[in-house]
C-alpha cells in the first residue's frame, strides 16, 4: 500500500492547513479533550499526524470499518489498511481529534464485522469488497495482511479497557478474532510460515524470512494462546538476517530495503 500517495491525493491533504486538535468534519463525532504532551509537537508533524488520522477516519466505511486500499477511487478494501485504521483511532482520541465514544463505535463496528467475516482458519483475504466483505480481485488469503489487521485489533483491545459494555465487547471480540487464527495451518513447510493461500492454487511456494514487515507474523504466531508455532519458527525467520546487516556512520543496523 502506498500510504503516502493516499495521503497526498486525499481531500484531507488538499484542504486548508489543519489547526492542531481541530474538530473533524463529522458532526456526529465530537472531539475529546487531548491529553497534555510531554513536549509540543513540531507543527509540521502535528499537521501530518492529524491528516493521517483523518484519512482513515473519513475514507472508511462507518458501517463495517473497512478502509480502501487506494484513493480517490476505492475499488476494494485492504485488511492491512483496516489494521492501520484501528491503530489510528485510539491515537485520535488521545490527540483530541475524535471522542472516545465515536472511536469506540467505529472499532466495535469493525470487530463485529470481522468476527463473522469469511476466513480460512482465521486468516482473511487481502482485498475485500468495501460493502459486503466478499473476496475482491481474486486476492489471496494473506498471512502478513491478516497479522497487520490483528495488530490493530489487539491495540484496540488494550486501549479500550473500561467496564463500559461496548468496551467489554471490543475486548471479547478481539480475543476471539486472534484466538481463531491457526498459525500452524499456514506452515506447509515448517517451521517457516507461508506468504499466502488461494483456493485455486493452495499455498504460495514462498515463505516469510527476515528481515521485513513480516516480523509481526512470527511474533503473533509464537504468542498465540490457542494455535502457536514452535520456537524453531523464530530461528527460521532470523537465519537470513546475515544478508542485511550493515554499517552507516559507525552504527550497525539491520536493513529492510526493496526486494
What pLDDT is stored for residue 139 in this prediction?
97
The residues, ordered by sequence, that sit 6+ positions from 144 with a Cβ below 8 Å of its Cβ are 80, 195, 208, 213, 214, 216, 217
Helix (H, G, I), strand (E, B) or coil at 140: coil
The residues, ordered by sequence, that sit 6+ positions from 136 with a Cβ below 8 Å of its Cβ are 75, 76, 77, 125, 127, 128, 129
What pLDDT is stored for residue 30 in this prediction?
61
Q: Considering only the C-alpha atoms of the chain, give the largest distance between any 2 of them, rounded to a whole number of Å.
A: 53
What pTM value is reported for the model? 0.86
What distance in Å separates the CA atoms of residue 94 and residue 187, rounded to the nearest whole number?
Answer: 39
* Other residues' Cβ atoms within 10 Å of the Cβ of residue 259: 4
Comparing CA positions, the residue from 170, 259, 187 lying closest to residue 221 is 187
Contact assessment for residue 87 and residue 152, using Cβ atoms and an 8 Å cutoff:
yes
Helix (H, G, I), strand (E, B) or coil at 203: strand
The grid cell for 75 is 475499488
Instruction: Find out whether the peptide bond into 211 is cis, omega within 30 degrees of 0.
Output: yes
Contact assessment for residue 90 and residue 101, using Cβ atoms and an 8 Å cutoff:
no
CA–CA distances in Å: residue 158 to residues 167, 184, 192, 235, 239: 10, 25, 29, 29, 32
Instruction: Find out whether the peptide bond into 245 is cis, omega within 30 degrees of 0.
Output: no
Helices 143-159 + 100-116 axis angle, to 10: 140
What pLDDT is stored for residue 142 in this prediction?
98
CA–CA distances in Å: residue 185 to residues 145, 196, 201: 16, 11, 16
Total residue length of the chain: 259
CA dihedral 26, 32, 37, 40 (to 10 degrees): 40
Comparing CA positions, the residue from 59, 68, 87, 152 lying closest to residue 114 is 152
Tens place of pLDDT per residue across the chain (259 aa): 434 433 433 444 434 333 333 333 443 456 776 676 667 889 999 999 999 999 999 999 999 999 999 988 868 999 999 999 999 999 999 999 999 999 999 999 999 999 999 999 999 999 999 999 999 999 999 999 999 999 999 999 999 999 999 999 999 999 999 999 999 999 999 999 999 999 999 999 999 999 999 999 999 999 999 999 999 999 999 999 998 899 999 999 998 866 4
What distance in Å separates the CA atoms of residue 195 and residue 207, rounded to the nearest whole number?
Answer: 5
Helix (H, G, I), strand (E, B) or coil at 135: strand
Domains of the chain: 3-181 (1.50.10.140)
What pLDDT is stored for residue 79 in this prediction?
98
Amino acid at each position: 500500500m502506498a500510504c503516502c500517495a493516499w495521503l497526498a491525493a486525499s481531500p484531507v491533504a488538499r484542504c486548508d492547513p489543519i489547526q492542531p486538535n481541530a474538530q473533524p468534519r463529522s458532526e456526529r463525532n465530537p472531539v475529546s479533550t487531548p491529553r497534555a504532551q510531554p513536549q509540543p509537537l513540531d507543527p509540521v508533524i502535528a499537521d501530518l499526524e492529524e491528516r493521517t488520522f483523518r484519512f482513515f477516519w473519513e475514507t472508511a466505511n462507518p458501517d463495517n470499518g473497512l478502509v480502501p486500499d487506494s484513493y480517490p477511487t476505492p475499488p476494494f478494501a485492504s485488511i492491512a489498511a483496516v489494521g492501520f485504521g484501528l491503530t489510528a483511532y485510539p491515537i485520535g482520541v488521545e490527540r483530541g481529534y475524535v471522542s472516545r465514544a465515536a472511536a469506540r463505535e467505529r472499532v466495535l463496528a469493525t470487530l463485529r464485522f470481522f468476527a463473522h467475516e469469511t476466513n480460512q482458519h482465521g486468516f482473511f483475504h487481502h482485498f475485500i469488497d468495501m460493502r459486503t466483505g466478499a473476496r475482491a480481485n481474486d486476492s489471496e488469503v494473506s498471512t502478513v495482511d491478516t497479522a497487520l489487521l490483528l495488530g490493530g485489533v489487539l491495540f484496540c483491545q488494550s486501549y479500550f479497557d473500561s467496564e463500559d459494555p461496548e468496551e467489554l465487547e471490543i475486548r471479547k471480540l478481539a480475543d476471539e478474532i486472534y484466538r481463531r487464527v491457526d498459525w500452524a495451518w499456514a506452515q506447509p513447510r515448517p517451521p517457516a510460515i507461508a506468504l499466502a493461500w488461494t483456493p485455486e492454487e493452495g499455498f504460495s511456494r514462498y515463505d516469510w524470512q527476515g528481515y521485513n514487515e513480516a516480523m509481526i507474523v512470527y511474533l503473533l504466531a509464537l504468542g498465540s494462546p490457542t494455535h502457536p508455532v514452535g520456537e524453531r519458527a523464530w530461528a527460521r525467520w532470523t537465519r537470513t538476517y546475515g544478508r542485511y546487516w550493515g554499517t552507516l556512520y559507525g552504527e550497525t543496523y539491520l536493513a529492510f530495503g526493496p526486494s
